[in-house]
Every structure is written in C-alpha cells, then in structure tokens.
Structure 1
Amino acid sequence: MSRFHLALSGLTAVVLAASSASAPRAATAATARPPAPAAAPAPHPASVSAPTAEDRNAALLARLSRLAPAADRGVLALALEARSCALAAGDIADAPRLAVIDYTRPSTQPRLWVFDLHRGTLLYDEHVAHGRGSGENLATAFSNRDGSHQSSLGLFATADTYVGGNGYSLRMDGLDPGFNDNARRRLIVMHGAAYVNPAQARRQGRLGRSWGCPALRPQVARAVIDTLKQGQLLFAYADEAEWLSGSRWFGCSGRSAREILARARARGGGDGLLATAAR
C-alpha cells in the first residue's frame, strides 16, 4: 500500500476515534436531569396561647379549695383576683404567701387560712379575732377610721415586725384606698392575744375582740407572723356592699366582685382540666 493510502487510513481512524469518544458525553448532557427544587421548610407547629391571669387563678382556686374545703370558694376567688389586679398594676411583688380572712364566719370557727401559692400548700387554718367595734360573734361593721375599733377589709401587704404592747407584732400596709389605707396610722397589726382562745369562745359564745387587729392564738402567733412578714399578702373579706363595689382591686378582669363570687361558688368542684393543671 502506498504511503498516501496509509496516511489517509490513519487520518480516518483518528477522526472515528474522536467521534466515538465525544458521543457519550453529548448523550449524558442531553439526558441529565435538572436539579431538584429545594425542599420547603417544615411548617411551624401551631402556637399555644399562654394561660391568662384568669386561667391561672382558676387553677389556683381549684387547688386552694381542695386544701381548705371549709373556705368559701367565692372568697378565695376574690382574694386571688385582688392579688392579680395588684400585681398587674405593679403595686406588689409576686409574693408566695397569701392569708385569707373570712369575716362572714363566726369568731368561734377557724376563719384564717394561710397558703403558700408557689408550693400549693396550706400552712395554717386558724381562729382570728375581729375588732370590738365590728360586732360580737359575727363581724358586721367595718371601718378605716382611727378610733372606730373596727376591723378593715381589703388587701394588705405585710411589712416588718416589732415587739410592742401586744408582744411580737407584724405591721401591715392597707392597699385599698378608702377602706384600709389608714392601717399604719391606726396601728392595725397582727399579734398574739390570750383572748383568742377557742375553748373559751365555745363557753362564752365568741372570741375575745381586739381594737381592729387580726389577733391570733399566742401559741401560733409568732410562727404565723414569721410566715407572713416582709411583703406577703393578707386579704380580709366580708359581705359589705360599699367595699365590694368600690375596691380598686376588683374588676381588672372585666368582672365585678359579685360576678366573681357567684361564678366561683357555682362552679363548685368542677374545675376540670384547670384543676389538673394546678397539681
């Protein structure tokens, strides 16, 4: 074969080889898939609404009612409402302990309950005296006036302790303008007193009475005072129309004191899931 033919054959082989080598690359490019779209972000779970103050109070009420079944549910509900309204207004700190006095009960019965709200416990269930100007066995008259010797109603913040004429005593500041805000000037304090004697009360038909102070049995006075001192809360209740309609601490939830009382009393033990939430 001539040199020309050999050169031509070699050139043809090179062209065919080049064509064969490029074919797969072209086919691959023609059949390549487009990139997959980015995955959509996972949907966020539905947001859960934070419990309202009313929800929290309903849960607390369920627990307090179980702890102190003799206490009026309506009175406990009002105490929690007053506390919530004062907290919302910034007038008090979130104190863990709350004392509740129900002056609609006779003095011969326990009518003071001290709760630890943060731990959900009942600390004391005690007799407490009312002012001699407020009545005999039942307290029926209340005042903010110095010299009346009557008990005052509403929400109090506790303060410091001192030793005075009635021994170890606890100062209190009334937070209800017009109803108990003269407590300091009137020297309305918590203290022990020998006349707070349940056995004697059963014989004479009533406890001894103070000059308006919530006096306690001497055997428990110091312990209760130490539990309640320095910024804790005390709530004193009676079915007194002017106070119920005029207190600044009812109504921040949009309900009147009468509505709060009626609703709590009507619900009884049926707090359902709210009661479970309080456990």
Structure 2
Amino acid sequence: MNKVIPVFAFVSLLSFVSPVNSSATSTVVVAAPSSKSVEVSSTVAFDDFLENLYDEADLKKAGLNIEVFKKAATGFYNLKKNNKLSRTKDVLTVVDFNKPSTAKRLWVVDLNKKKVLYHSLVAHGMGSGNDKAVKFSNTVNSHMSSLGFYVTENTYIGKHGLSLKLNGLDQGFNTKAKERAVVIHGADYVSEAFVRQHGRLGRSHGCPALPKEITPEVIQVIKGGTLLYIDGPSSNYTSAYLDTDSAIKHFENEILAKQAKLLSR
C-alpha cells in the first residue's frame, strides 16, 4: 500500500525541483496537499520514524514492547519541545510493569546512538502487588509504584547509598514523588539470587529500585534531566505528554531544521 509523502519530505522535494522554463509550451502544476493529507502524512511519518528507531536500536530483541516504547518516545519529544529535558543527553529510561518482577523490565536507551545501554531487573512498590504490579497510586504512604513520566534530577547519598531524585510530571498520578521520597536507588532484593530464593523480586516502598551492582553507573548516565517513563496495567492513566499531534510538531520542526542546515552547506 502506497503511503502519502510526509509533509517534510514534500517540502524537501520542492527544494530540489528545477524552475520551469518560461518558454516551455507545457506547465507543471504542483497541487498543494490538503490539510487532511498533511495531517495523515505527518502521523504516518512520525509512526514510521518511531518504528525505525525501535528496529535500529534492536529493542524487540531486548524485549521492549513497541507500543510501550512509542508512548515513552512520544513523551520524550513532547518534553523536548517544552525544553524540560537535558539538551546534552538524549537518553530515555523505560520501565514496563506489565511484566512480572522476574523479568528484566527496565531499559535505558540512547536515542541518539540508537542503542540499549542497560537492560535490568527493577522492583515495584509492595503496595502494588507481589510478583506483578497491578495497582498504582500517587498517595503518600501507599507504598505503591506510580505510573507516568518523570524527569531525573540530582543525586544524594541516603540509606540505600547513591540515589537519584525524580520529579513526577503527571498530575494525579506521580506528582507526589518527592513527598513520597520515590527515587532510584540500589537494593539487595533486586537480584537473580533473590528471585531464585523467593520466586520473585523483593519490593520497595514505591521506588523503582535497581540491582546494587549497576546502580551507580546507571544513575551517572541518566541523572540531570533525562526522561523516565513507567508503564503498567491501568485503564485510567492519562498524560498530556502522550499527545501525538504535539510531538509531531516538534518532530517536523526538528527534521526541517536539519534539512535547512544540510541545504545551507
């Protein structure tokens, strides 16, 4: 099935069309795309872009669900558009709590290099469930995990050693992360050995806890304004950062800027 030429591809094509000779007997007429075709082509282009990124980073092999990745990446581009993320780190961390605790369900992806940097076990909150997280909350003392988008902040040394503060962005879902002291830290109960002994990971008070041996290096990579997205089985989770149309605008502007830079050389 033929796809509509994306709007930025259309603009690019126009920039390379030779001017029509005024003495020619025939005239080439280029019809402007309708607003509907532009909207459809932009959506198709953005979806294709995300699928290509997914393939190039080999995320299927790494076990990351493509729909979860698309949601995380949509949030990434929306937050980039709003200047809420680091300008120097195109790193995206995804946690998929649809998977059991015995599975590696955290991925740190370098979107620029199209590479998985870390693929790890990660704990959920004890209030969310045993092997699988099935309930989520933004309430203090719920000891549940919270879904949604977070921006990483600075580090500190706490009772779990080196830890990373998180700023929850989704109103009603994770905005009390700081009040609840939901941070990234290492824990002994996040290990293959714990799984072999207990049949599941240990659980936190709501923090996405990591294996102690990789925590310092993961924190070093993702600290300072990178995006964390936590997905899970919930029918009521919504986020302004899942707005595809808004993400597409940033996507198109970024592509057009790159095209202009290439043409100016």
Q: 2:217 aligns with which of 223, 226, 230?
A: 223
Alignment partner of 1:242: what SS? Answer: coil
Partner of 1:62: 55
Matched-pair contact (CA < 8 Å) for 2:54–2:60: no
* Cα separation, partners in 2 of 1:93 and 1:228, compared to 1, 3 Å: closer
Per-residue Cα deviation, 1:104-137 (whole angstroms, up to 9, x for no partner): 1110110001011111111101000000000000
Q: TM-score, normalised by structure 2?
A: 0.73
In 2: Cα distance, 1:204 partner to 1:222 partner: 25
Alignment partner of 1:241: what SS? Answer: coil
In 1: Cα distance, 2:246 partner to 2:161 partner: 43
Q: 2:125 aligns with which of 111, 131, 149?
A: 131
Per-residue Cα deviation, 1:35-85 (whole angstroms, up to 9, x for no partner): xxxxxxxx96239x9x86545433322223447431111111111111122
Matches within 5 A, 1:97-108: 97-108=91-102
Matches within 5 A, 1:97-246: 97-243=91-237, 246=238
Partner of 2:257: none
* Cα separation, partners in 2 of 1:76 and 1:68, compared to 1, 3 Å: farther
User: Are 1:83 and 2:54 an aligned pair?
Assistant: no
* Cα separation, partners in 2 of 1:84 and 1:54, compared to 1, 3 Å: farther
Matched-pair contact (CA < 8 Å) for 1:96–1:118: yes
Matched-pair contact (CA < 8 Å) for 1:161–1:168: yes
Gap regions ≥5 residues in structure 2: 1-13, 19-37, 248-265
Which letter does structure 2 place at the counterpart of 1:91? K
Q: Shift of residue 254 of structure 1?
A: 8.0
Alignment partner of 1:219: what SS? Answer: coil
User: Are 1:252 and 2:255 an aligned pair?
Assistant: no
Matched-pair contact (CA < 8 Å) for 1:65–1:71: no
Matched-pair contact (CA < 8 Å) for 1:54–1:253: no
Q: Shift of residue 195 of structure 1?
A: 1.0
In 2: Cα distance, 1:73 partner to 1:206 partner: 25
In 1: Cα distance, 2:60 partner to 2:234 partner: 26
State how many pairs are aligned: 210
Percent of pairs identical after alignment?
37
Q: TM-score, normalised by structure 1?
A: 0.69
Matched-pair contact (CA < 8 Å) for 2:62–2:119: no
Matched-pair contact (CA < 8 Å) for 2:95–2:229: yes
Alignment partner of 2:175: what SS? Answer: coil
- Cα RMSD (Å) of the superposition? 2.5
Gap regions ≥5 residues in structure 1: 1-42, 256-279
* Cα separation, partners in 2 of 1:175 and 1:121, compared to 1, 3 Å: same
Matched-pair contact (CA < 8 Å) for 1:53–1:84: no
User: Which structure dedicates a bigger proportion of its chain to helix?
Assistant: 1
* Cα separation, partners in 2 of 1:214 and 1:44, compared to 1, 3 Å: closer
Is 130-139 or 116-125 further displaced after alignment?
Answer: 116-125
In 1: Cα distance, 2:229 partner to 2:96 partner: 9
Matched-pair contact (CA < 8 Å) for 2:152–2:227: yes
Matched-pair contact (CA < 8 Å) for 1:99–1:235: yes
User: Are 1:46 and 2:9 an aligned pair?
Assistant: no
